[in-house]
Chain A
Amino acid sequence: KAGVTQTPRYLIKTRGQQVTLSCSPISGHRSVSWYQQTPGQGLQFLFEYFSETQRNKGNFPGRFSGRQFSNSRSEMNVSTLELGDSALYLCASSLAPSGGASETQYFGPGTRLLVL
């Protein structure tokens, strides 16, 4: 099976712009989670989607949003970019969502976003 894919792999934006990142989960996986990785804060949970519904949300401002499509593909959007949004954004997929806490999340290669 193909792994989790994320596009684009690299992105450069300027402050105030918005950006959309895409994630395609492993075939058959219906849960998609997003994480932000920075040197200072480490890995932080953004949100989780299952069946096109947001099931869980981390402590990020409303500028960070996401959605999931009927084919389980997911996008996340960051509006009004700030310098501090520069990070590696990782998507992870699993078979089951909340309640299936033993499920393994498999990560994509990430999208590296640089905000200038």
Chain B
Amino acid sequence: AQSVAQPEDQVNVAEGNPLTVKCTYSVSGNPYLFWYVQYPNRGLQFLLKYITGDNLVKGSYGFEAEFNKSQTSFHLKKPSALVSDSALYFCAVRDYGNNRLAFGKGNQVVVIP
């Protein structure tokens, strides 16, 4: 079964500094990887996904993620964090042929003004 690990509970970063949220995955076949963000009392908002092709994926709001097959990682990055980026971030993976998303536990990102 597919699974995702987000090793850090909380990521603190100063506004304007680079932001990285880590994710590693485990799947039996080719991975389909997703990042979502959740603001308080809201649903999940799609940021970006990796299906195939270029290992660097660009998404919404200036976020990007780098797929690394050898390290089975899909870290989310933003060059310059904003206070409004403070939220809960989820990494998810899906196997081909299986439409269920397996989510990591989530990372709370706190951007300090």
A-side interface residues toward B, CB under 8 Å? 4, 6, 31, 33, 35, 42-43, 45, 48, 55-56, 58, 90, 92, 94, 97-110, 112
Contact = CB atoms under 8 A, between A and B. Distances in A.
A101 B98 contact: yes
Interface of B: 32, 34, 36, 41-46, 49, 51, 90, 94-106
A106 B94 CA distance: 14
A66 B44 CA distance: 21
B95 A101 contact: yes
A107 B44 contact: yes
Contact of A56 (B42, B96, B99, B104): B99
B43 A48 contact: no
A104 B100 CA distance: 11
Contact of A110 (B43, B46, B102): B43
Contacts of A43: 90, 101, 103, 106
A98 B99 contact: yes
B97 A104 contact: no
Given A4-B43, A43-B106, 18 more contacts: A33-B100, A33-B101, A43-B103, A48-B100, A56-B99, A58-B100, A92-B101, A94-B99, A98-B99, A101-B94, A101-B99, A104-B46, A107-B44, A107-B45, A107-B46, A108-B43, A109-B43, A112-B41
B41 to A, nearest CB: 8
B49 A104 contact: yes
B43 A104 contact: no
Contacts of A97: 99
B40 to A, nearest CB: 11
A90 B46 CA distance: 14
Which of A55, A90, A102 counts the most B-chain CB atoms under 10 A from its CB?
Answer: A102
A58 to B, nearest CB: 7
A55 B42 contact: no
Contacts of A101: 32, 94-99
Contacts of A112: 41
Contact of B97 (A31, A92, A99, A109): A99
Contact of A42 (B36, B98, B100, B106): B106
